[in-house]
A and B are shown apart, each in its own frame.
Chain A
Amino acid sequence: MLTYIVRRILSSVPVLAVVSFVTFWGLRIAYDPLLKFRSARNAATILPIQRKRLGLDQPIVVQWTKWFGKAVRGDLGVSDRTNNAVWGELMHHMGTTMHLVIWGTVVSAIIAISIGIYSAVKQYSVGDYAFTGLSYIGIAMPPFWFALMAIVALVTWPKVHWNLDQPIFYSIGLHGTGRSGVFNLDYYRHLALPVLTLAVQSIASWSRYMRASMLDVLGADYIRAARAKGVPKRRVVLSHALRNALVPLVTVMALDTAFLVGGLIITEKIYSIPGTGSYFLDSLSAGDAPALLGYTLLTAVIVIAANLVADVLYGVLDPRIRLA
């Protein structure tokens, strides 16, 4: 198992190299690193100096090699926008995003798996049809629209309607002014809406996967054999079927979660949460190439890591694919 993980990590380096090179190249086409010097009065003298300082006189492959060499050692350069080390900023913002990702994933997984099991066991029941309809709606709603509706319905309306001093749920940030920590109600009142926004989508799609996977497993011979042994139905479903049904779901969940880490752009923006998504959007509008490069590399690393986690979990759930 350990050899396998090490091998997978090493083999991911070329993938990261390609990803970062394409980004590097694209950013060089899209942004001019010398832009802020061009309008200077002494542009003619400054430009060659800056070009040499930034290494722009060298071929792009050489520039990228230098950047990548530093990047693998944890040095992602300095942000053009804030003049802080990109690595530190990314880690800081990711810390914030992880609040949403962890809560969102845990809540979604528990609810989606429960709905999936229910829908499969009670296939074609009223409940199953209801969840099917709801999940289509959940998948169809764009997160920005849902987020705005959630603010109207859960924040603004109750506050106005019941004349509250403070809304029940907040729609800005993760903490109230001067508050921090996770063991207080304030945190959860802030967390509720963003987590709801991303959970609705995840639950909608994961519960469909779970239902399909569970139906597949429930028709298997070993389920019939377990019932023939006299195992009660509840235990057949929750022990014999569940573990088998989770195998295909694990990949989907791991990959979706990976995208959440880097991709909560809209949700974070709407709820003013300073996570990686907000960081990406701010860097993008500022043309902050080092920050964007660092962000892309981090996202790639997370997707690759999530894949690895999915493969390892596979082996834990299913002994037939246990890896050497």
Chain B
Amino acid sequence: MNNAVDTSLFAPSGPGGGNEAILEVRDLCVGFPSDDGILHAVDNVSFDLRANETMGIVGESGSGKSVTSMAILGLLPKYAKITGSVKFRGEEILGVRDKDLTAIRGAKIAMVFQDALTSLNPVFRVGDQIAEAVSVHRKCDRKELRERSLELLELVGIPNPVARLEQFPHEYSGGMRQRAMIAMAIANEPDILIADEPTTALDVTIQAQVLDVLERIRDRTSSSIMLITHDLGVVAGVADRVLVMYAGRQVEMATVDDLFYRGLHPYAQGLLASLPRLDRRGDSGQLSRIHGQPPSLVFLPPGCAFNPRCPHAQPGVCDQNVPLLREVERDHFSSCIRAEELVAKGSES
């Protein structure tokens, strides 16, 4: 638990480097009290979000992706035990009063949620909900608000925006709802857009359109995007850098190319190997998989949380101390204690 990561590790470097970090997350821990003990949803997570980059956060369900993003915005319930530090443009935003956070939420850091149907208030018109996102942060008259809402709906590619403004969320299709959510999130041109599984509930065609909207908006407003997903395809398509999480811990952080072509952590390698590929067919025609089940977040295995499932696990090595995320190659971090060993082994064969 008390294995603080050396902050100097995150000095901007490598491809896309030179950009300053606008969000610095350090040693973020989130625990939820449960009947069996503390549930460690996020365990010692540290990363930087640089200006104008898209960072993917990947992991399976329960790996702490969403909790991380909600901790950043202070949206977790009161009983959550949160420690660590989150700095936005050098200013601490973790643990500050809710009142002070409202000025940042939606204006500086905005969020797009996974399920757009349940994330839109069913009893208010979509136009009013978008207008509200603007009006809570700056005073403007009705006409101005309406024009801005209209502009936003157009920006995210909703056809016939004038009529759509007056409609309720249940009159929207799934893809349109997600676009409306995005419109709301970008209403104040935030510096950071956190997209929590924005495409999970959508079919592939709509998914591509929504991702396209996100990319267009990032380029237009030069904001940074934190894209939370379990879909490696989405990450490969839009992210610059990727953070892989497992059981609430960081296991690998690298540029997309590094991760996909030179993955260092056995878990990340396992994830990539499990993707269906058109160009390579396995002997049995079956997809490869990671054996076993994700661990309980209350009773984590000793040492590396992945060691019971890891094909490269060494008894007496991997099950001793919780491994730290460290820079194994330039701008390529892994928490695997045997990373160098495995790289050497990989290049031999």
Residues of A within 8 A of B (CB): 220-222, 224-233, 235, 240, 243-244, 317-320
Contacts and interface: CB of A to CB of B under 8 A. Distances in A.
Interface in B233-254: none
B60 interface: no
Q: What are the 7 closest A-B residue pairs judged by CB atoms, nearest first?
A: A230-B106, A221-B118, A230-B105, A225-B119, A229-B106, A228-B111, A222-B121
Interface of B: 70, 73, 75, 98-99, 102-107, 110-111, 113, 115, 118-124, 132-133, 136-137, 168, 170, 181, 184-185
B118 A317 contact: no
B121 A224 contact: no
Given A225-B181, A244-B123, A317-B123, A230 B118 contact: no
8 contacts: A222-B120, A230-B102, A230-B104, A230-B107, A230-B133, A231-B132, A235-B136, A318-B122
Given A221-B115, A228-B106, A229-B106, 13 more contacts: A222-B120, A227-B75, A227-B102, A228-B105, A228-B110, A229-B185, A230-B107, A231-B102, A231-B106, A231-B136, A232-B136, A233-B98, A318-B123
Contacts of B98: 233
Contacts of B120: 222, 225
Q: Please report whether the interface of chain A is mostly helix, strand, loop or mixed according to DSSP.
A: helix
Most buried by A among B104, B105, B121, B136: B121
A224 B123 contact: no
Contacts, number: 75
B123 A319 contact: yes
Contacts of A229: 105-106, 110, 132-133, 136, 184-185
Given A221-B115, A225-B119, A232 B99 contact: yes
Contacts of B107: 230
A243 B133 CA distance: 19
Contact of A320 (B111, B132, B168, B184): B168
Contacts of A221: 113, 115, 118-119
A233 to B, nearest CB: 6
A319 B107 CA distance: 29
Contacts of B119: 221-222, 224-225
A176 to B, nearest CB: 46
A139 to B, nearest CB: 30
Contacts of B137: 230
Contacts of B70: 224
A227 to B, nearest CB: 6
Contacts of B170: 319-320
B136 A244 contact: no
B122 A319 contact: yes
